[in-house]
Structure formats: structure tokens, C-alpha cells
Copies of this chain bind each other. A is one copy, B any other.
């Protein structure tokens, strides 16, 4: 059946330990909610952590890579899609996800968040600082939310997706 895809976006190589831990837990909770995890596909940082967390919880994982090959793919991604699109693949992630959770921030992540907002997708900023929260909420105060824990992020997603806790 049609699966709900939750994008988990954030820094790759530059992710810090807190972001890695958050992304791992988010991945696990998404899987337990019966949703699939969608990332930028690489093993680095938030992408790798979210897919690893989802995999450990028995969830389905999809990775949309910027490269034409799969060399940088996380081993925890079930469906690896090498696009060869470079950063333009961020637009594909934004459109393909039903909603996005954001762990950490850099320029690439900011483009994914902006494109998700542009596409009217619900976005949950996890532990975002004040400037980041204010900026993205100034773009669309209705679709952008801030959560202070992975659990709160999942609850916000449940609310916006209006779906139950079980498998879809």
C-alpha cells in the first residue's frame, strides 16, 4: 500500500553528536510509527544516522543520492536511488516527503527546508536555534514547527499527518 515517507534532513560530515543522536532516535520512532524514512542517502551524518535508526527498528528506508553512483550510500538504506542531479536532488526530497524533520543546519539543509516549505510540506525543526526558527517561520508560520525532542517531533508529525500510530 501507499507508504508515508518522512524526510529526515540535516548536515552530513559536519553533524555533531547531538544531531546524530537525535537523527538516530527520529529514524527509530518514524519506523515504529509505520512510516518510511527518506533521506539524502549518504552514510554521513544525519542521513546515515536516521537510516540506521530506522533499520534497527525494522523500518523501510529510502535514500535519494546526489551522485550517479552509490559509493557514498548508507548501508542501512533499502532503496538506493542515485540521481546524478547534484544538489537539485534536494527538490526531489522536498516533494517526495510527506513531511520533514530537520536535525541541525547548514546551507544544503537550508535549501531542503526552504524547498519543503515552498512545496507546502509540514516541517519540524528539531532543537533549532532562535534565528533559524524565526527565519523559517517567517517564510510560513503554518507549516513550520519547532520541537525540543525527537518524541515531540513525532507527535507533531502525527498531528499534521492525521494518522494513527500503526503501520500504514
Chain A residues in contact with chain B, CB under 8 A?
1-3, 5, 36, 62, 64, 68, 75, 77-92, 94-96, 105-108, 110-111, 114-115, 117-119, 131-132, 134-135, 138-140
Contact = CB atoms under 8 A, between A and B. Distances in A.
Contacts of A92: 81, 83-85, 88, 92
A75 B118 CA distance: 26
Nearest to A87: B91
A108 B84 CA distance: 14
A95 B90 CA distance: 14
Given A85-B91, A111-B114, A131-B135, 5 more contacts: A86-B95, A87-B91, A91-B91, A92-B92, A132-B138
19 contacts: A1-B78, A2-B75, A5-B79, A68-B87, A81-B92, A83-B86, A85-B85, A85-B86, A85-B92, A87-B91, A87-B119, A88-B91, A90-B115, A107-B114, A107-B140, A108-B118, A110-B117, A111-B118, A132-B135
Contacts of A114: 107-108, 110-111, 114
Q: How many copies does the complex hold?
A: 4
A75 to B, nearest CB: 7
